[in-house]
Amino acid sequence: MEIMLELQDISSGYGEVQVLWDVSMKLEKGKLTTMIGSNGAGKTTTLRTIMHLIKPWGGKIFFEGADVTNKPAHAKAASGLVLVPEGRQLFTNMSVRENLEMGAFSERARKDIKPNVEKVFKLFPRLKERESQHAGTLSGGEQQMLAIGRGIMAEPDILMFDEPSLGLAPILVQELFTIIGELRKQNLTMLLIEQNVHLALTVSDYAYVLTNGRIEIEGLASDVQKMGSIRKAYLGL
């Protein structure tokens, strides 16, 4: 088992408010790992800490065996640790193609812009149809596709998603998870933070449950999905 990303006893927060307490987790190569938890549990804070968008208070972060705890966000992205942020954060006055090309900012990705654009268009045919259209004029679902496509353009070794289905219509959520499932089949290592717990656990290999900033449960996603406490708290069963 090859570990691509490891968090060791990560503590973090904002100002004087601590959000994470000794969070430890591992991402296995080629697997889709999900982190679930209620609103305010610390899921987005975990992603921001991994990327050094906020500085960890304690603990270590290892990416492909190297200590990257204090490596800046742009350097992490350039080395293959890529986040698709909540809210998409697109360049709204730029075209679909231009947004995709902006994803290939790193030296490792620049050399393969053309084949990677075609890869994204194959994954998201709707983006191909709108490649000259300004990103700000796309529907919410199309914008989310573009945000994911931009992440793929960076040639990630790990692709992380922060609430990708937020605000999408149910039919688009299903379409989105079909795409995530396709990426899983391509053995891309992924970390998924998602409000739709049922779908997240269904497509994932491994799961962590974050409660009040602490990991309370971890295990195979199929096993976590069957747990009575999870079914009651998150699945309404």
Of 83-87, 107-111, 209-213, the least confident: 107-111
Paired with 33 in beta bridges are 191, 206
In this predicted model, what pLDDT tens digit does every residue of 54-84 receive, in sequence order?
Answer: 999 999 999 999 999 999 999 999 899 999 9
Mean residue pLDDT of the chain comes to 92
pTM: 0.91
Would the pLDDT of 37 be above 60? yes
Query: How do the domains of the chain map onto residue ranges?
Result: 1-80+157-237, 88-155
Predicted local distance difference test score (pLDDT) of residue 167: 84
Would the pLDDT of 237 be above 70? no
- From the list 230, 235, 177, 176, the residue with the least C-alpha distance to 204 is 177
In this predicted model, what pLDDT tens digit does every residue of 147-183 receive, in sequence order?
Answer: 999 999 999 999 999 999 888 888 889 988 999 999 9
May I ask the CATH architecture of the domain 1-80+157-237? Answer: 3-Layer(aba) Sandwich (3.40)
Strand order through the sheet with 81-84: 81-84, 158-162, 189-193, 32-36, 206-211, 214-220
Listed in sequence order, the residues at least 6 apart from 39 whose beta carbon sits closer than 8 Å to its beta carbon are none
Predicted local distance difference test score (pLDDT) of residue 89: 81
Which one-letter DSSP state was computed for residue 135? G
Higher pLDDT, 120 or 106: 120
Would the pLDDT of 134 be above 70? yes
Higher pLDDT, 107 or 57: 57
CA distances (Å), origin 161, targets 68, 87, 107, 194: 19, 11, 23, 8
Average pLDDT over residues 112-121: 91
- CB neighbours of residue 66 within 10 Å: 10
Predicted local distance difference test score (pLDDT) of residue 236: 66
Residue 158 backbone phi and psi in degrees, to 5: -135, 130
Rounded CA separation 210/197 (Å) = 12
